[in-house]
Chain A
Amino acid sequence: MHPKKEETPIHKKIAENEKFLKDKMGIGKSFDVGVRKMNILNKEVHIYYCTGLCDSEFIIMLLKELLEVDHEYRTSAKTKDVIKNHLAHQQVSTAKNLDEVIDRVLSGLIAVLIDGQNEGFIVDVRSYPGRTPQEPDVEKVVRGSRDGYTENIVENTALTRRRLRDGRLRNEIMQVGDRSKTDVCISFLEDVADPGLIETIRGELKAIRIDGIPMADKTVEEFLVKQGWNPFPLVRYTERPDVAATHLLEGHVLVFVDTSPSVIITPTTFFHHVQHAEEYRQTPMIGAFLRWIRFAGMLTSIFLLPLWLLFVLHGELLPENIDFIGPNKKSNIPIFLQIIFAEMGIDVLRMAAIHTPSALSTAMGLIAAVLIGQIAIDVGLFVSEVILYVALAAIGSFSTPSYEMSIANKIVRLILITLVFLFGVPGFVIGCTAVLLYMCSIKNLNTPYLWPFIPFNPQAMLQVLVRVAVPLSKVRPSIVHPQQHKKQSDA
């Protein structure tokens, strides 16, 4: 797929190799790449490395071993074989060309080149700076495993493998980005996941032509699904290995991207964004209860404000038994503008909270809550009900498990509010219909976005509405087109 690059084979004369590598990697110019030259069995041996990405302890041990070779063997011995034999590490491979050597060295492996040989050895002594697995911030559970993915793809696949010791779990690795050469890994169960889907994802990833993907998974996602101006999140991310393993078992395909702790789950529908691991750590009854509360929160965040505005603007619509709703005091600013200002205020606050150092955040909270909220009402800028309903909608969106989904819902809410202000009831119903139609028309990786609601699938919808006990959910969701329909054997 990539335009075939001319490959430079390893030269028999080590001086030629050195010249090439010095030129290409900038040894001597960049401080972080270097070469250690030594003499073993009367042959010049070069060891190329990239500081910071490899473990010096290991390299020193390897060097000691090699230096001992020099004392033990006579010079007539087969240098190459002796050296290979004494590279005391389980991951030693041979390299035939210098471009591969460069790739490897810059990934943190070391390359051992020997004078007079047109093959070099690559030893995996990588040790990347990074953190140890921690509980992910956004997907906390009360009970359950506390390990989360890290920025290291090898650790991430290992955390997954620890939960699925199945030989049929495939981790296919490839490099994306002409300059960054970032590792991207597709994981799936070979005899469960839909081969068509795997092929599609593989094709999309291979077709990526970009210099680098420092934003890792997000960039890959944008190549994978055609997002456009669609506000709704088209893939689900998780930082929890148990969630990832669950989805693998259901027949989903995961995409790991190096340097990111989030893993992409495909294919995803709207309802993947309303589930949370916590529901599966509680009894089914409690899980279902939590989920319904969450649904209520999400519906509140979308519909409450537009409906309230509608009843404020068209008081005659209010049913008799709730006709106390609506502002009692006359306000100086139109309610619509008050809502928009308050919504903007909440977003400004949210952004400020992200950027403010935690030492100042208490002060900021105080200013925001007490001063702005209360005094805005006192001086007659805001009606207190506006604050109440905007706050309810905001709390509703915080209860959405997926952060991306909560922001998308906010956009929908603002559109509905504007339509209600402009057109009243027709604006509201046509707006809702249009949003639903639009969501129905979204198809990412051949999966209808609103499945299992539209198109309707009774069993799967039941799984969404209540949290079914695990022993009772015997089949995999049909939307991933699993090769094996059942996940619990009959006997």
Chain B
Amino acid sequence: MKSERNGQEETDHREPLEQNQTEKQVSFTGRVLTIGFIGGLFWSLIGYLLYLLNFTKIKPALVLTPWVVADWKDQALGNWIGIFIIAFLSMLVAMAYKILLAKFKHMITGVIYGIILWGIVFYLLRPIFPALEPIQELGTNTVTTTLCLYVLYGLFIGFSISFEYDELTKARQEGH
């Protein structure tokens, strides 16, 4: 009687856990999205902190400027919303890395990816950010701080995704 009940409990418990396991194997994309989200969240938080310490003139709310004109975007609320928007945009950035560069193992790929992103935001996309001054007028502090942030962000996204991809391919090779 007792053993029967135990047996039933076993099957009850096992099923959801086994599902978990298969889910884990499929969800490389899910992991990439998580990495992107957390990466955007964390590094824009650091960016906000550095803005508060006057290291840089760029604040997370900058991402709002193309489509929000209301006053709140210049206050703390704007920055917090900006941080979350950056986190969501960062998921796209991570997906782009996954598609283009995931198979490059070395961490330098991520660093270069970060530098390229910085170039895109501060050169190519400058027209859509009316608040963004030209690079010459940003000053050394702002330029170095933002560049370093993008380098670390690129490293975070790139190295994480490449590492995950590498582990996955290794696991697959061993599996077959």
List residues of chain A with CB under 8 Å of any chain B CB: 307, 316-319, 424-426, 428-430, 432-433, 436-437, 440-441, 448, 451, 454-458, 478, 485, 490-491
Q: Do the beta carbons of B148 and A456 come within 8 Å of each other?
A: no
Given A317-B54, A437-B111, A478-B167, A458:B38 Cβ within 8 A: yes
Measured between beta carbons, the chain B residues less than 8 angstroms from A454 are: 155-156, 159-160
Is the C-beta of B100 less than 8 angstroms from some C-beta in chain A?
no
Which B residue sits closest to A316, measured CB to CB? B54
Q: Does B80 contact A (CB under 8 A)?
A: no
Q: Is the CB of A491 within 8 A of B55?
A: no
CB distance from B70 to the nearest CB of A (A): 24
A490-B160 contact in complex given A319-B54, A425-B145, A429-B144, C-beta closer than 8 Å? no
Q: Which residue of B lies closest to A461 (CB)?
A: B38
**Closest Cβ of chain B: how far from A246's Cβ, in Å?**
23
B148 pairs with A430, CB closer than 8 A: yes
- Bound form: Cα–Cα A451–B35 in Å: 13
Q: A426-B140, A456-B39, A491-B10 are in contact. Are A448 and B52 (CB under 8 A)?
A: no
Q: State how many angstroms separate the Cβ of B133 from the closest Cβ of chain A.
A: 17
On chain A, the residues within 8 Å of B162 by CB distance are 455
A316 to B31, CA, bound (A): 42
Q: Are A490 and B55 in contact (CB under 8 A)?
A: no
Contacts of A432 in B (CB 8 A): 148
Contact B53 A491 (CB under 8 A): no
B155 x A440 contact (CB < 8 A): yes
Q: Which of A316, A425, A436 counts the most B-chain CB atoms under 10 A from its CB? A: A425
A230 to B52, CA, bound (A): 33
B31 contact set on A, CB distance < 8 A:
458
Q: Is B152 an interface residue (CB 8 A)?
A: yes
B163 and A455 within 8 A (CB) = yes
Assess whether B124 is interfacial by the CB under 8 Å rule.
no
Contact A448 B163 (CB under 8 A): yes
Q: How far, in whole Å, are A485 and B163 apart by their CA atoms in the complex? A: 18
Size of interface on B: residues with Cβ below 8 Å to A: 35
Q: A436-B155, A491-B9, A491-B10 are in contact. List 9 more A-B contacts (CB 8 A).
A: A307-B53, A317-B53, A426-B144, A433-B152, A437-B107, A454-B159, A458-B34, A485-B21, A490-B13
Are B55 and A429 in contact, with the CB atoms below 8 A?
yes
A455 contacts B159, CB within 8 Å? Answer: yes
| With A456-B39, A456-B160 as contacts: A430 and B144 at CB distance below 8 Å | yes
Q: Which of B29-77 contact A (CB under 8 A)?
A: 31, 34-35, 38-39, 50, 52-55
Residues of B near A318 (CB, < 8 A) are 54
Closest chain A CB from B56 CB (angstroms): 9
Closest Cβ–Cβ distance, residue B71 to chain A (whole Å): 20
- In the complex, 28 of the A-B residue pairs with CB atoms within 8 angstroms, ordered by the A residue number, are A317-B55, A424-B141, A425-B144, A425-B145, A426-B141, A426-B145, A428-B55, A429-B144, A429-B145, A430-B144, A432-B148, A433-B148, A436-B152, A437-B107, A437-B155, A448-B159, A448-B163, A451-B163, A455-B160, A455-B164, A456-B34, A456-B35, A456-B39, A456-B160, A458-B34, A485-B21, A490-B14, A491-B9
Binary interface encoding of chain B residues 139-156 relative to chain A, with 1 for a CB under 8 A from any of its CBs, else 0: 011001100100110011
Residue of A nearest to B15 (CB): A490
Interface core residue of B17, B50, B53, B145 (most chain A CB under 10 Å):
B53
Query: Are B55's CB and A425's CB within 8 A?
Result: yes
Are B107 and A440 in contact, CB atoms less than 8 angstroms apart? yes
Q: Kindly provide the distance from the CB of B138 to the nearest chain A CB, expressed in whole angstroms.
A: 12
Question: Are A491 and B13 closer than 8 Å at their CB atoms?
Answer: yes
On chain A, the residues within 8 Å of B6 by CB distance are 491
Could you say which residues of chain B place their CB within 8 Å of the CB of A425? 55, 140-141, 144-145
Min Cβ gap A200→B in Å is: 15
A426, A436, A454, A478: which has the most chain B beta carbons within 10 Å?
A454
**How many angstroms from the CA of A426 to the CA of B155 in the assembled complex?**
19
A451 — which chain B residues lie within 8 A by C-beta?
Answer: 163
